[in-house]
Amino acid sequence: MDSISTLILAISLIIIMFGMGLSLVVDDFKRIFVAPKAIITGLVNQLILLPLMGFLLISIFTLPPEIAIGVIILAACPGGPTSNLITHLAKGDTALSVSLTAISSFITLLTIPFIINLGLQTVLGQNTDIQLDVLQTIAQVFVIVIIPVSLGMLIKAKKASFAGKMEKPVRIASAVVFVLVLVGVIIKERANIIPYFQKAGMVTLMLNVATMGLGLLSARILRLSFRQGISISIESGIQNGTLAITIAVALLANSTYAIAAATYSLLMFLTGAIVIFWSLRQGKAAPVE
């Protein structure tokens, strides 16, 4: 997306994150860290299983080098605010989703250079010096996720009746933003959709679906709640495509590395919509454990 579209999306996400905060209390986060099995499971999926799946897929598929490297860049990236939005709409554990996004965003500042260099070495037999803008990444997480969620929680603590009245309108607004972003991305990339899908469609779809499936499976094996499983599945399978494109274009100076991320960014909204529909149909996600 261009800079104006990115700014509009960021502002929309800030408003939505504020709305999410209106439905959360401090105890939601305390519960996660007092019983940390869910957050540990989510981090293992994001930081270990996701990159492993990326390397497995580029070894199975016969891919052009630029697509293979693009897949590894994606697999190295954390979840972003979009995963929080999809979790919110799917009535997953929003506090768990926000916590996973924040923690993984900080940890991947260290893991992204290692994973991408390993990918470059595997595919091209070369390394490069990758230095992420630490302050920018931290600022993005705080401005788009942590600050608006915290403000929403503060208002809920002070004005519980207002927060209760706003929960349904915010959920509706979130759904509208989700649909508008999906439509906007498709319209903007309509000329590239077929070429992108021909080059990277199947492998990026497999990365998306397989990691979401692993997230849900691991949650079930460890007997986590349905809501926690939904959050872990989405956080594992919905990656920060914007960050992946930035790394490809700005840090590696190769726009062809961004093809996989651009294709993935289209697909993740479609698969995210399916997960939302499926989760709501289950009738298990609504109760708060």
Please give the DSSP secondary-structure letter assigned to residue 239. Answer: B
Residue 288 lies in a domain: no
Question: For the chain (length 289 residues), average pLDDT per consecutive 10?
Answer: 62 74 78 86 94 96 92 88 86 89 83 88 76 66 78 84 76 71 66 77 94 96 94 91 79 82 86 92 57
Give the count of domains, the chain. 1
Residue 286 lies in a domain: no
Q: Which of 221, 287, 279 is nearest to 45 (CA)?
A: 221
Residue 19 lies in a domain: yes
Domain at 78, CATH number = 1.20.1530.20
Residue 13 lies in a domain: yes
Residue 16 lies in a domain: yes
Residue 20 lies in a domain: yes
What is the phi/psi pair of residue 239, to 5°?
-95, 165
DSSP states of 6-49: HHHHHHHHHHHHHHHHTT--HHHHHHHHHSTHHHHHHHHIIIII
Q: What is the CA radius of gyration of the chain?
A: 18
Q: pTM of the entire structure?
A: 0.79
pLDDT, residue 288, reads: 45
One-letter amino acid of 270: L
Residue 289 lies in a domain: no
Q: Which residues contact 174 (CB under 8 A, 6 or more apart)?
A: 16, 19, 85, 88, 89
pLDDT, residue 204, reads: 94
pLDDT, residue 231, reads: 94
CB 14 within 8 A of CB 148: yes
Domain that holds residue 71: 3-280
b/e map 181-198, b = 16+ CB within 10 Å: bbeebeeeeeeeeeebee
Residue 261 lies in a domain: yes
